């Protein structure tokens, strides 16, 4: 039964130094298994990065919307209303509640879900690899049992025949799984191109649409700002900010050391 097999496999592993010799004798399989492990590591990393990117876009638009609301609250009692406050708040709200959800829906459907679906097949291959290892252990156990029967002083032909049948069955089961993995792993590796290519195209297009929408919303704010004057704009803004901060520093309370 399964309990006896598990105990027997554990004993075989101990005798073989951590794994059956059969499992390590096929260089073609070993190469494919290494390729699969590399693919799995890179695919899971890419999946996590696609999730992180989705989260970063959502966090950015949420933060922008919150900032716009706090900006209005910060200047709530200013006697001279600032038109850019309302324009910026409306733009940030539209980006957060319209543009970002539209981007998220497209991104989920065309980028994240296909990648997640591809990665969802990887555990099945890991199960098959584990099953191959167990079948290899079973084969080693069957061969040892046959050798034991063949070296007995008084051989039992019926026992030897049963042991030979056990070896034949174990070999067939192992070879089927071994050939399956050797054939299927390259197909899985090649299929990643057909997942990534259309997803990457959709990723670029969805980004372009989202940032174009965001740019259009922010353009509606710029009409409330002074026109750009050329390359010295940054220097002028720095000077204006410096003048304001100098006025703040001139306040008497700012000249006292408050502990």
Q: What is the full per-residue pLDDT of the chain (259 aa) written as tens digits?
A: 544 444 444 444 433 333 456 666 789 999 999 999 999 999 999 999 999 999 999 999 999 999 998 887 777 666 555 678 888 999 999 999 999 999 999 999 999 999 999 999 999 999 999 999 999 999 999 999 999 888 887 878 888 899 999 999 999 999 999 999 999 999 999 999 999 999 999 999 999 999 999 999 999 888 887 776 556 666 665 676 676 667 666 766 666 554 4
Please give the DSSP secondary-structure letter assigned to residue 230.
Answer: S
Assigned token pair, 26 = 């096929």
- Dig out the tokens for 92 from the structure: 């940030």
Give Dmax (Cα) for the chain.
Answer: 110
Name the burial class of residue 2, with classes exposed (0-12), middle (13-18) and buried (19+) by CB atoms within 10 angstroms of its CB: exposed
Nearest Cα residue to 204 out of 106, 130, 94 = 106
Q: How many whole angstroms separate alpha carbon 236 and alpha carbon 232? A: 6
Q: Give residue for tokens 């001139």.
A: 250
């Amino acid at each position: 039964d399964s309990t006896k097999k598990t105990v027997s496999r554990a004993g075989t592993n101990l005798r073989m130094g951590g794994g059956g010799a059969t499992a390590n004798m096929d260089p073609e399989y070993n190469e494919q298994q290494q390729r699969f492990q590399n693919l799995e590591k890179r695919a899971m990393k890419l999946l996590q990065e696609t999730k992180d990117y989705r989260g970063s876009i959502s966090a950015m638009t949420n933060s922008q919307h919150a900032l716009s609301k706090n900006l209005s609250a910060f200047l709530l009692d200013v006697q001279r209303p600032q038109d850019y406050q309302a324009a910026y708040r409306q733009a940030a709200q539209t980006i957060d509640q319209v543009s970002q959800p539209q981007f998220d829906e497209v991104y989920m459907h065309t980028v994240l879900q296909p990648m997640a679906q591809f990665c969802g097949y990887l555990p099945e291959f890991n199960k098959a690899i584990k099953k191959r290892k167990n079948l290899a252990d079973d084969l080693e156990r069957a061969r040892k049992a046959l050798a034991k029967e063949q070296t007995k002083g008084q051989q039992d032909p019926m026992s030897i025949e049963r042991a030979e049948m056990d070896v034949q069955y174990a070999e067939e089961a192992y070879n089927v799984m071994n050939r399956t993995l050797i054939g299927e792993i390259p197909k899985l590796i090649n299929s990643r191109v057909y997942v990534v290519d259309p997803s990457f195209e959709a990723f670029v297009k969805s980004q372009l649409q989202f940032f174009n929408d965001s740019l259009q919303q922010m353009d509606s704010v710029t009409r409330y700002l002074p026109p750009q004057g050329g390359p010295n704009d940054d220097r002028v803004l720095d000077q204006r900010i410096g003048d304001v901060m100098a006025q703040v520093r001139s306040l008497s309370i700012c000249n006292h050391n408050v502990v």
